[in-house]
Structure 1
């Protein structure tokens, strides 16, 4: 299995539970593991009954397992602050106020949120030398797909910006010093240097996601969840980010044969409906079902995490990275 493992899916399907269970399964097998939440509704702290922050912290009682929760609001503020500082160093003082106003407006846009979050989780991948495996509890499917589609798009976009910047510098130099003087402005240009840095960043992201990452989708046995899972599989295939497997979560437990009350009849009908949906999943989708996890009578945390981990038929061994 690749060093980076992502669990995605529709909001509320139980990605955090599955991510934490798989991370604990890896750690229990002797694999140094980091579980990372990129979902605004952080629940990793709830699952392990322990507060986590923006830096990796050991999970109490589980050797070899660390966790961190990325704060999206903090990441947007930090991200825009870096842009503000960089631009303020490169423009006239009269433009600084206008830049600040534009960045304040940008703070409220979904694009700023996703860009900042994307930067942070790619940084985690780049700085993961202390871990054999990093498990990502991702945001709901739509947001995740937009993030995962960014590298290729932004890589070509940055290349176009760099081309335009070089043309601009070339024209400026010709106008300022003519064709017979040596060119000096191109060398050390801070804008070009930053664009080159971003280009390399996106090249790393695209290479790591396509070569060293495995993607799993978590679904519930309801039609909306199944339909969204189908769309997600198609979209990820289009981005060359094939889904490795599916986890069916929150399945209804079947009552004992001797039970025949109203509740038992309801449960049997529900179980039958869910079985039909899972049969449809097996027939319609190429990725296999790697787990069928029943609902518990209490929240999955503490010792129940180990029970869920045992139900995940997902390899914990770690392959050598092909790109990172």
Structure 2
């Protein structure tokens, strides 16, 4: 059984509902389960009508189930403050002032949120996950998710290049400063190189965990745009050696009763016919199975309705996460 289960997909397809339902199913099966949301909408708090934050908390009314919500904005602030503190210990005050200016500009730089979230996710893997049998991650919308999951390999290569450049600069600086004497600094005792190597080890740990102890499912709706985007996501995840075990088709329109023949019923039948075509396309052309087809509920999916959704998920929670 993989410890980590990720649910991704386009914004608005119902990832939070599916993630929560699966987390509840794991908890009902007796597994100590942690539900983690990286979605800035804080939908998990809305779903359980309970406020969550960066620390795992018991979900009221549900045994074996804890939840936490990672705030991207707060993580970016903490991430940048950590960089500021570390750099302040290594460079002069003049350089620190320039670093402060650069950090302020970096706050809204593309990728800042992904890097900060990834750091926090690694901490979840290392610090919180050992206390649980299963960690279910409700990820942010597809584009952010792909960047998040592709970070280990990318950042590992990037850190390698930084270490190489730092080692060369130290060597040249010392040779220029003291000639042929024994250098005062080397890569072995340089704190910046040490920090870079620490970061590389974290990325390697994350990459190994994602590939060897994680499973991925994508949630989509039965419409043309959602199906097309999910197909592209499958291709890109495969490029990063992150195998998707299946897809969940959510928000499927219920069929009207046979005796209904009014305007609304005719509209619903046409809508259902279009959706069935999309579902058939997914089943026939996607390289992974459909593990659930979940109909739209008329009310908010909470309580017993959440357990109804959980029962429809064709994902085995006891045997390595394979579809049933």
SS of structure 1 residue aligned to 2:103: helix
- Separation in 1, partners of 2:216, 2:136: 10
SS of structure 1 residue aligned to 2:278: helix
Deviation, 1:318, is 5.9
Aligned to 1:165: 166
Unpaired runs of 5+ in structure 1? Answer: none
Q: 1:47·1:302 contact (CA, 8 Å) conserved in 2? A: no
- Separation in 2, partners of 1:282, 1:119: 36
Q: 2:220·2:230 contact (CA, 8 Å) conserved in 1? A: yes
Q: 2:167·2:186 contact (CA, 8 Å) conserved in 1? A: no
1:299-314 alignment runs, 5 A limit: 299-314=300-315
Aligned to 1:21: 21
- Separation in 1, partners of 2:309, 2:56: 23
Deviation, 1:178, is 4.0
Aligned to 2:106: 106
- Separation in 1, partners of 2:320, 2:176: 55
- Separation in 2, partners of 1:257, 1:187: 76
- Separation in 1, partners of 2:57, 2:277: 42
Number of residue pairs matched by the alignment: 320
Q: 1:158·1:199 contact (CA, 8 Å) conserved in 2? A: yes
Aligned to 1:142: 143
For the pair 1:254 / 2:290, whether they are aligned, the reply is no
Aligned to 2:121: 121
Q: 1:252·1:270 contact (CA, 8 Å) conserved in 2? A: yes
Q: 1:132·1:318 contact (CA, 8 Å) conserved in 2? A: no
Q: TM-score, with normalisation over the residues of structure 1?
A: 0.96
Deviates more, 1:118-127 or 1:53-62: 118-127
For the pair 1:216 / 2:212, whether they are aligned, the reply is no
Q: 2:25·2:311 contact (CA, 8 Å) conserved in 1? A: yes
For the pair 1:47 / 2:44, whether they are aligned, the reply is no
Residue by residue over 1:160-210, the C-alpha shift from the partner in whole angstroms, topping out at 9 and shown as x without a partner, is: 111111112222333334445366543321101100100101101111111
Q: 1:7·1:19 contact (CA, 8 Å) conserved in 2? A: yes
Q: 1:3·1:318 contact (CA, 8 Å) conserved in 2? A: no
Aligned to 2:74: 74
Aligned to 1:264: 265
Unpaired runs of 5+ in structure 2? Answer: none
Deviates more, 1:268-277 or 1:18-27: 268-277
Deviates more, 1:119-128 or 1:134-143: 119-128
Aligned to 1:36: 36
Aligned to 1:238: 239
- Separation in 2, partners of 1:247, 1:126: 28
SS of structure 2 residue aligned to 1:129: helix
- Separation in 1, partners of 2:6, 2:126: 16
- Separation in 2, partners of 1:11, 1:26: 24
- Separation in 1, partners of 2:260, 2:187: 80
Q: 2:175·2:183 contact (CA, 8 Å) conserved in 1? A: no
Aligned to 2:64: 64
SS of structure 2 residue aligned to 1:5: strand
Aligned to 2:85: 85
Q: 2:222·2:278 contact (CA, 8 Å) conserved in 1? A: yes
- Separation in 1, partners of 2:95, 2:77: 20
